[in-house]
Amino acid sequence: MVVQVPPACVIGVDLGGTKLLAGAVEPETLTVHHRTRRQAFGLSQADLIEAVVDAVEEARAAVGGEVAAVGFGIPCTFDRRTGMAVQAVNLPLADLAFGALMTERLGIPVEVDNDANCAVWAEARAGIAAGAQEVAMLTIGTGIGGGLVLGGRLYRGAVGAAAELGHMIVDIDGPPCQGNCPNWGCLEAVASGSALVREAALRVARQPDTLLGVAMEDGQALTGPLITELAFAGDPVAVAALEVIGVSLGVGISNLVNIFNPEVVVIGGGVVAAGEMFLAPARVSMRARALQPGRDLVRVEAAAFGPEAGMIGAALLAADPEAAE
């Protein structure tokens, strides 16, 4: 069934380490008229591009083809001088003129930015940080993305590669980071969804007689959502794993507070579904390490748009790219 929407409808696409989410969005109201999801994990670069194009075409068809522009949030470092997506840590995207390719394939205006940049833009414009001029965001999923709004503008750095906040070093002797990152002890290595799974696996091996241990014996995959579900059910291993990851996240947040003095630090991505079991230890850890007065003024909040923040932000950038400059 075709949904009738205004011609100003735009499509926002959020491409993460494991999934792709696309939506047809009305920019004035942020009403999402159609959503479509695709698997991103394990695809080659060519197959990933086809999945992206297919998702956009589905969303465009669902709204009768009346689409003004498409915004993409992708987990890459960028060189805005050349328009190149230079490197992705958790996806097979490298040295790709992504925007030019999508413009050619789709035949409509395209805006491309880092996925976490899109997410922080959504939260700063219309989400939990609406009205704030200084905002930092961490998007916690397979990895950790970062975005900054400074002085009311999206901060991209000298050439567009800034705000890779998940790759700040928080433990010089820490574990190796994942994917294409060459570092050890990155925030992503100790506070991401992947780190949560690793922490839970270590703990359940020592304490198997729990709900989590039983679930694994029954053949369930150890995933972030399962850990969160069983933590809400009171499983001590799941609760402890979330607390450990939250404390590590707080170390990263304290760095953001000391460096940028944000009004709000927004936490997004799938892991934030754990709510205060995850955020409360992060706040305690941050306040133990960050300096006054920044630590006393900052709010650490869950993203209002939840897992759709990147998609909404990509749509906002497509509708009005100059607003972020």
Is 53 a member of any domain?
Answer: yes
* Parent domain of 299: 130-303
Is 37 a member of any domain?
Answer: yes
Q: Are 204 and 210 a contacting pair, CB within 8 Å?
A: yes
Is 242 a member of any domain?
Answer: yes
Q: How many domains does the chain have?
A: 2
| Residue 312 and residue 299 share a domain | no
Query: Which residue stretches of the chain are H helix?
Result: 45-62, 98-106, 115-126, 187-191, 193-206, 211-217, 224-232, 236-260, 276-289, 294-297, 309-319
Sequential pLDDT tens for the chain (325 residues): 444 444 469 999 999 877 899 999 999 999 999 999 998 888 898 999 999 999 999 999 999 878 999 999 998 888 888 888 888 877 888 889 999 999 999 999 999 999 999 999 999 999 999 999 999 999 998 899 999 999 999 999 999 889 999 999 999 999 999 888 999 999 999 999 999 999 999 999 999 999 999 999 999 999 999 999 999 999 999 999 999 999 999 999 999 999 999 999 999 988 999 999 999 999 999 999 999 999 999 999 999 999 899 999 999 999 999 988 8
| Residue 182 and residue 52 share a domain | no
| Residue 209 and residue 99 share a domain | no
| Residue 226 and residue 291 share a domain | yes
| Residue 162 and residue 294 share a domain | yes
| Residue 102 and residue 161 share a domain | no
| Residue 233 and residue 251 share a domain | yes
| Residue 102 and residue 17 share a domain | yes
3 state DSSP class of 138: strand
| Residue 207 and residue 278 share a domain | yes
| Residue 68 and residue 101 share a domain | yes
| Residue 80 and residue 183 share a domain | no
C-alpha distances out from residue 284 to 101, 109, 238, 277, Å: 45, 45, 19, 12
Q: How far apart are CA 126 and CA 118, in angstroms?
A: 12
Closest-CA residue to 265 (of 256, 274, 275): 256
Is 211 a member of any domain?
Answer: yes
| Residue 88 and residue 29 share a domain | yes
C-alpha dihedral sign at 42, 46, 49, 54: negative
The CATH code of the domain that includes 107 is 3.30.420.40
pTM of the prediction?
0.92
